[in-house]
Structure 1
Amino acid sequence: MAKILIGKYEGSIYREGDGYTGALSLGFKPNGKRNRLKRKGKNRTEVRDKLIKAVRELETGAKPAPNYRVENAVNDFLAAFATTDRSDSSKKTYRTLVDGQIIPLIGRIPLTDLSADDVEKWLNGRTKHLATSTLNIVHNLLVRSIKRAMRHDKVGRNVAELVDTPVGKDGRPSKSLSLEQADALLTEATKPEHRLGAYVILAVTSGLRTEELRPLKWSDVDLDSATVYVLRADRHKGETKTLLSRRGLGLADMAVEALRALRTRQAAERLQAGETYQDHDLVFCHEDGTPYTGNSIRYFFRKVLNAAGLVGDEWCPRELRHTFVSLMSDHGVSIETISKLVGHKSTKITEEVYRHQLKPEIRDGVEHMNLIFKSKAPKSA
């Protein structure tokens, strides 16, 4: 019989039947009988590990439920998250990631048995399938789910916090349309058969984010002064991404023309729909006034792309913003001005996010030196 000390508790591990039993003395119960904590295992090491875990749970006040699994923890977290005022798109995204990346792979593991090694193995197994940004989200979902379980005394510690998120596969790099491609797209977008034509035109000529365009209201648009005011976004609490994202922008002539045509079209649709029309004052919406989803935007966007002779699946709506930055930069607009137009709080963010769309300026120094030392330049023969 081997004597042991785990934390402040003394005990022993001894052979019993085909394995071993460990017992720690916790003092005495109210009725005067000894209070002992017991765990069984195949060998001494397994028994000791179980006793250490039991003591940790005892000291943290956890009341582990052996049938409470990882899937229970993440489902309980999502149920609580669903009652918050976070956006429906975030709730849907989290549900999809949990159902696809967590529950099928580690969901059946009892939460008290989940180890840091289990989490690390799971994350490493997803690196060939998920981009780093997505890996961060699913890892964070597990961490938050276990934190909630800890608050409800389901487990004593959060093993997911002990693991670093690995690097995933390279994400799809954003790109921008060339001037020729953008011109072809805008020409096609002016045709009345395209429901999303005005959206495409405004996105390319203003650089608005997709989440700024979807909730845009007619009350935010002044066609007489050719101005659009960005006051909200389709994200948490409807707030714009940053304070500087709340901005007023001038509208290009073709954008004003496209929006006037859209407003006339919507007036006819409202008249035809009658009482069934849902008036949300949205600039971009379905025939009955209901908001577009992200999928709706992508569907109509591909129709414009394909009609313009561009391959729709190779482009996504957010790259219209990248196109705006690229065209501005190629036209000589300073990065400071571009940064203000796209609503960034600093040029550093613009440089990091749109580095592939910004025209390099590394020859500026050479050009200035040539001017400074012009007299020293060798004369041509």
Structure 2
Amino acid sequence: MAKILVGKYEGSIYEEGNGYTGALSLGFGPDGKRRRLKRKGRTKEQVKDKLIKAVDDLEQGIKEERNHTVEKAVNALLVHLAKQGKSEATMNTYRGLAHHHIINKIGKTKLTDLTADDVEKWLDECAENMTTQTLKIVHGLLRRSIRLAERRDKVGRNVALLVDTPHGKRPTRRSRSLSLAQATKLLHTAEDPRHRLGAYVILAIVSGLRTEELRALTWADVDLNNKVVYVLRSDRDGGDTKTKKSRRGIAIADMAVDALTALRKRQAAEKLQAGDAWQGHNLVFCKENGAPYTDDDVLRRFRRLTKAAGIGESWVPRELRHTFVSIMSDQGVALEKISDLVGHSDTRTTQTVYRHELRPIVTTGAEKMNVIFNNQKTRSA
């Protein structure tokens, strides 16, 4: 047994098992019991280094938890973000990314043992099958997890800050928009009552609403008599969006009014049949028992519709919004008006997000849509 002195603390290092254990005496606690700090390692030098670091952390006020893993840190962040009021859609995205790419790969690593080299190696592996944008989100989640642990004195420094996010090697899938002919086919198919998501698709194409806005829409937000829906600007990080200022009313085309009217009657019958099993969220778009749709529910039902319309199964719901912008631009609606219709605060955002849908020369929503698709119906009749 070798006696050692680390700072003002006396202790010893002794053989134990296949390596060495070091112990420092920290005096007595309020309960009268002796307080000791222990660290293990393969060599005496390794143990002494760990003891020196532990004492440094102790003197800096860091209550280092030896078993506080990356997984625990990430889960703590997810709880913290949920309490901050992040939307369920955002939290589902974060949980999925955190579980598949952080917890499954480096979750068991102790936070105090994690090095910048570990983080760099992990990011390089993720980059093989990830887009740059997703990689930034995943790296950001790890950085924020360790920062929260650092703030709570669980760890001394944030090693994830020492590593730059690499470029992902998987190309980003660019959003597309349906052509007018494709949109007309899809609208015609969506009118078939066999497709439960039909009204959702119709309203998305003729209004340009976001998928998260559509999923959150309640019947209290729908005024069928005046042909208007009211939406709150969709949840985004970094700001309170649920204010009177962010609520906007959108006039909707006749075909959307007809589809919503039919859907309301259908839901009334389903509610009566379900009885006590009905989940009373008052959602416009929901499952047969009133339960909310998940992202996967919407995607699965949406692709059934696009397949039935004969336009393939590679489309995603957000591209209906791109389609709205494309058709508006094609019909000569001014950029400023398109910006207003899609709920952007300025045209710069519209130009950035929908640059592929906007035409080089651009000269209101519900009125245009009525004319456009009524003409298409007449031609196909």
Q: Tell me if structure 2 keeps the 8 A contact 1:280–1:290.
A: yes
**Partner of 2:253 in structure 1?**
252
**Deviation by residue 1:43-82 (Cα, 9 ceiling, x = unmatched):** 98x7997687456524421133333322232233334445
**1:157 pairs with 2:153:** no
Amino acid at match of 1:105: K
Structure-2 change in CA distance of 1:48 and 1:355 (3 Å): farther
| SS of match in other structure, 1:229 | strand
Provide the C-alpha distance between the structure 2 equivalents of 1:116 and 1:175, rounded to a whole number of angstroms. Answer: 39
SS in 1 for 2:333: coil
Cα distance between partner residues in 1 of 2:128 and 2:346: 34
Does 1:226 pair with 2:218? no
CA distance in structure 2 between the aligned counterparts of 1:188 and 1:281, rounded to whole angstroms: 26
Structure 2: which amino acid aligns with 1:62?
A: I
Q: State the partner residue of 1:303.
A: 304
Q: Deviations over 1:99-157 (max 9, x none)?
A: 21112322233211212222122112211212222212221221222122223322111
- Equivalent position of 1:374 in the other structure: none
SS, match of residue 126 in structure 1? helix
Partner SS state of residue 127, structure 2:
coil
Q: Name the SS for the 1:66 alignment partner.
A: coil
Structure 2: give runs of 5+ residues left out of the alignment.
1-5, 9-13, 29-36, 363-381
- Of 254-263 and 161-170, more deviation after overlay is shown by 161-170
Q: Does 1:326 align with 2:351?
A: no
Q: Does the CA-based 8 Å contact 1:220-1:231 persist in structure 2?
A: no
Provide closer, same or farther for how the CA distance between residues 29 and 185 of structure 1 changes in structure 2, counting only shifts above 3 A.
closer
How far apart, in 1, do the equivalents of 2:41 and 2:262 lie? 77
Separation in 2, partners of 1:267, 1:38: 66
Instruction: Answer yes or no: is the 8 Å Cα contact 1:246–1:343 preserved in 2.
Output: no
The alignment's TM-score, normalised by the length of structure 2, stands at 0.77
> 1:184 offset after TM fit, Å?
0.5
Residues 1:241 and 1:343: Cα distance change in structure 2 (over 3 Å): farther
The 2-side partners of 1:76 and 1:243 are apart by 33
Aligned to 2:104: 104
State the AA in 2 paired with 1:107. G
CA distance in 1, matches of 2:290, 2:238: 21
| Equivalent-residue separation in structure 2 for 1:241 and 1:137 (angstroms) | 24
Return the alpha-carbon distance in structure 1 between the equivalents of residues 67 and 267 of structure 2: 55
Give distance in 2, aligned partners of 1:96 and 1:38.
35
Q: Is the 8 A contact 2:39 2:50 kept in 1?
A: no
Q: What's the counterpart of residue 350 of structure 1?
A: 350
Contact 1:220 1:229 in 2 (8 A): yes
Residue in structure 2 matched with residue 3 of structure 1 by the alignment: none
Query: How far, CA to CA, are the matches of 1:118 and 1:260 in structure 2?
Result: 57
How many pairs align? 339
More deviation, 160-169/179-188: 160-169
Determine the C-alpha separation between the residues in 2 that align with 1:255 and 1:239. Answer: 30
Separation of aligned partners in 1, 2:27 and 2:66: 24
CA contact (8 A) 1:205 1:251 kept: yes
**Which digits, 9 at most, give the CA deviation of each residue in 1:79-107, with x for residues without a partner?**
44455543333333333222211123222
Write the mapping of 1:11-30 to structure 2, written as runs, cut at 5 A. none
Residue 94 of structure 1: aligned partner: 94
**What are the residue-to-residue correspondences of 1:73-152 with 2, within 5 Å?**
73-81=73-81, 83=83, 85-152=85-152
- Cα 1:183–1:240 change in 2 (3 A) is farther
In 1, the alpha carbon distance for the partners of 2:246 and 2:305 equals 28
Q: Residue 244 of structure 1 contacts residue 344 of structure 1 at CA under 8 Å; is this kept in 2?
A: no
Q: Which residue of 1 aligns with 2:199?
A: 198
Give the 5 Å matches for 1:223-302: 223-231=224-232, 233=234, 240=241, 246-302=247-303
Bigger CA radius of gyration: 1
Query: 2:375 maps to what in 1?
Result: none
Q: Does the CA contact (< 8 Å) of 1:231 and 1:240 recur in 2?
A: yes
Structure 1 length normalisation: TM-score?
0.77
**Helix, strand or coil for the counterpart of 2:67?**
coil
Is the contact made by 1:215 and 1:234 (CA closer than 8 Å) also made in structure 2? Answer: no
> Deviations for 1:199-229, whole angstroms, at most 9, x for unmatched residues?
1010000000001101112221222221111
Structure 1 gaps, min length 5:
1-5, 11-15, 31-35, 363-381
User: How many Å separate the matches in 1 of 2:122 and 2:64?
Assistant: 23
Aligned to 1:373: none
Q: Distance in 2 between matches of 1:75 and 1:307?
A: 41
Equivalent-residue separation in structure 1 for 2:195 and 2:119 (angstroms): 48
The superposition leaves residues 260-315 of structure 1 with CA deviations (integer Å, 9 ceiling, x where unpaired) of 11122222222322343333222111222222221211121112111101212x10
Contact 2:232-2:242 within 8 A present in 1 as well: no
Secondary structure at the counterpart of residue 214 of structure 1: helix
Q: Which residue of 2 aligns with 1:210?
A: 211
Residue 291 of structure 1 aligns with an amino acid whose one-letter code is: P
**Which SS does the other structure have where 2:216 is aligned?**
coil
Secondary structure of 1:288 counterpart: coil
Contact preservation (8 Å) 2:39, 2:47? no
